[in-house]
Amino acid sequence: MEHKSEVTDSIVAAVIAKFAQRSALGIRKYGTTLDRTDLTTKDWIQHTQEELMDAILYLEKLKQSTQSASLPSNGN
């Protein structure tokens, strides 16, 4: 099922393009799409939890990087 529509918002267009790229990468890497039927609901929940845990780690890394970059530099 493919849906094409005119997108006038550049941010939305960029996100749509990234979703398409991500899908193509997943198909190449795993040889399947999200239409797969071999996973249970519990499996999907587990995958989602793992992805969100990774996202939290990335956010923490950025938070710490931002905090250390904004520390005053001993009067210099």
The three-state secondary structure class of 63 is helix
Q: What is the pLDDT of residue 68?
A: 83
pLDDT tens sequence across 10-41: 999 999 999 999 999 999 999 999 999 999 99
What tokens appear for 20 in the block? 């398409």
Task: Kindly tell me the sign of the dihedral angle through the C-alpha atoms of 60, 61, 66, 69.
Answer: positive
Helix, strand, coil shares of the chain, percent, nearest 5, are 65, 0, 35
What tokens appear for 40 in the block? 């249970």
Q: What is the pLDDT of residue 11?
A: 96
Which residue's entry shows tokens 């250390």? 68
Annotated domain spans of the chain: 1-36, 39-70
What tokens appear for 24 in the block? 């193509």
